[in-house]
Amino acid sequence: MEPISLPEPGIPAGNSSSVAQEKFHVLLGVTGSVAALKLPLLVAELLKIPALWKGRSDPVLHIELRRWADLMVVAPLDANTLAKVANGICDNLLTCVIRAWDLSKPLLFCPAMNTAMWEHPITARHVEQLKAFGYTEIPCVVKKLVCGDEGRGAMAEVWAIVERVKKILEERDVPRQS
């Protein structure tokens, strides 16, 4: 893969070259949910979207990441991080990026947790708070969970997440490359 050139730390993204501005950047946030096991498949499928990815680079600070990304996908979003984001807690890189997120850019979140956690009344309040911020939920699904329980709480299927990303690309007229 060819590396993406990111703006140097401390240099606003708006001062980068016009070539860099033509690219569409997706920032993928991952939490501690067991559904993170699907991350390699999700990344592999997202990498297949033309013109979306050219490569990876070393991590940068949360403000540079927020400036760099055109879209953020948090998949999976576990109950712990959901609660943190809903309440404004930013004690790690992911929650700091979300807290600094430019609300004019889309942020998709994919809840994933045990059914008992999903059905707790506080979860619905947390999800509604994220929606009130303008973030878009890709709802969890019913299936047999890794813990053996069956019910709602599993992260949305990878294809559903990828389709939502493609829809956003189309809505924003991101050029398709072959």
Q: Is 147 a catalytic residue?
A: yes
Say whether pLDDT at 1 is over 80. Answer: no
44 versus 74: which is more confidently predicted?
A: 74
29 versus 83: which is more confidently predicted?
A: 83
* Dist. CA 154–CA 151, nearest whole Å: 8
- Judged on CB neighbours under 10 Å (0-12, 13-18, 19+), 109 is buried
* Dist. CA 74–CA 109, nearest whole Å: 5
169 versus 12: which is more confidently predicted?
A: 169
97 versus 24: which is more confidently predicted?
A: 97
Say whether pLDDT at 3 is over 50. Answer: no
Mean pLDDT for the chain overall: 84
Say whether pLDDT at 13 is over 90. Answer: no
Domains and CATH numbers, the chain: 13-171 (3.40.50.1950)
Question: Please, what sign has the CA dihedral across residues 23, 111, 79, 126?
Answer: positive
Active-site choice (90, 96, 140, 147): 147
